[in-house]
Amino acid sequence: MSAKAILVIAVLGASGELSQPPVVLPQDDLAACNASAKATVEALALTLAERLLPGHVTGSPVLAVQQPVTGIWMPRYKRQARDGEAKEAEVTIRQIRATCRPIG
């Protein structure tokens, strides 16, 4: 039997303060929790793209990436509306975070 987990989603302001209270959702298992975390981060990143990263190219990909040490999911924007080398640079935004933790 797989362990149950909780999904914690937080949206932070530019200076690191919480924009709203974190959302805590129970999940059936850790794998389902991580899938939900990834999908949620990507959806929020697309919804809040203009506010979080004004240089983001509309319609370009956004992927949720899991940080290797902490396990926190954050969005990574693939393209920016900039000239030169920075145009194709990937940018990870820290204002949207989700993480899964086993319980019980």
Residue 97 has pLDDT above 90, yes or no: yes
Q: What pLDDT does 91 receive?
A: 75
Backbone angles phi, psi at 23, to 5 degrees: -95, 130
The reply to whether the predicted model has a pTM over 0.75 is yes
C-alpha separations of 41 from 3, 10, 44 in Å: 23, 10, 5
Helix (H) / strand (E) containing 30: helix 30-47
- Which residues lie closer than 8 Å to 57 by C-beta, 6 or more apart? 79, 80, 81
Q: Using CA atoms, how far apart are residues 38 and 17, in angstroms rounded to an integer? A: 22
Percent residues over pLDDT 70 in the chain: 79
Going by pLDDT thresholds of 50, 70 and 90, the confidence category of residue 64 is very high
